[in-house]
Chain A
Amino acid sequence: DVKVTQSSRYLVKRTGEKVFLECVQDMDHENMFWYRQDPGLGLRLIYFSYDVKMKEKGDIPEGYSVSREKKERFSLILESASTNQTSMYLCASSTISLSTDTQYFGPGTRLTVL
């Protein structure tokens, strides 16, 4: 059973703080993803990593950075949190198979920036 865990379920931070969201997967997946989910907007891709130390920008990377130092761990960093980054953050992982490609999601982190 694939397991994707996220460090916090709920987080409250203040404007300007640096925020770290951690994601760990236990299935040796090569690909890892960070999304945010907002009402009426669905899931939007922030960043994507296809290997250790490799990253690629998604659709909304502004205000975010990522780190992947180990295969199982993918971190999302908000350098200076702002109120418009209040959202549900979802991490996902997948293996490198174009023929049977499924992303497995973590439980999400509900971030509130005050």
Chain B
Amino acid sequence: DQQVKQNSPSLSVQEGRISILNCDYTNSMFDYFLWYKKYPAEGPTFLISISSIKDKNEDGRFTVFLNKSAKHLSLHIVPSQPGDSAVYFCAARPSGTYKYIFGTGTRLKVLA
């Protein structure tokens, strides 16, 4: 039972345009969400987080939106750059724990 789903395995975007990566979850008890970027043969790198008490968090080119009623999370990257090409994972934390449940990842390719 996949509690955190990233339904798009891959996404291609032109350089300079917006990249939107989506994540759906099933457990309403998740209270904190993270996005990570991962290059091949490297560990995931933290990008941005959002608490369930917020609906938006912004950090430079990265913005995360949370729609609790739809149980949906999205990461917007504007403008997209070739160096953003990587696999992106969303992760969700059940309330009261330190453990995260990760999605299966979306491979983003930004075309120059």
Q: Which of the four size classes fits the interface of chain A?
A: 20 to 34
Contact status of A102 and B99, CB under 8 A, knowing A41-B104, A42-B89:
no
Given A101-B32, A102-B49, is A108 in contact with B42 using a C-beta cutoff of 8 Å?
Answer: yes
Contact B43 A42 (CB under 8 A): no
* B20 CB to nearest chain A CB (Å): 19
A31 to B93, CA, bound (A): 14
Closest B residue to A91 by CB, please name it. Answer: B43
When the two chains form the complex, which single residue of B44, B99, B102 contacts A48, counting CB atoms closer than 8 Å? Answer: B99
The A/B interface has a contact count, at CB < 8 Å, of 62
- Residue A73, interface by CB 8 Å: no
Residues of B within 8 A of A (CB): 6, 9, 31-32, 34, 36, 41-46, 49, 51, 89, 91, 93, 96, 98-105
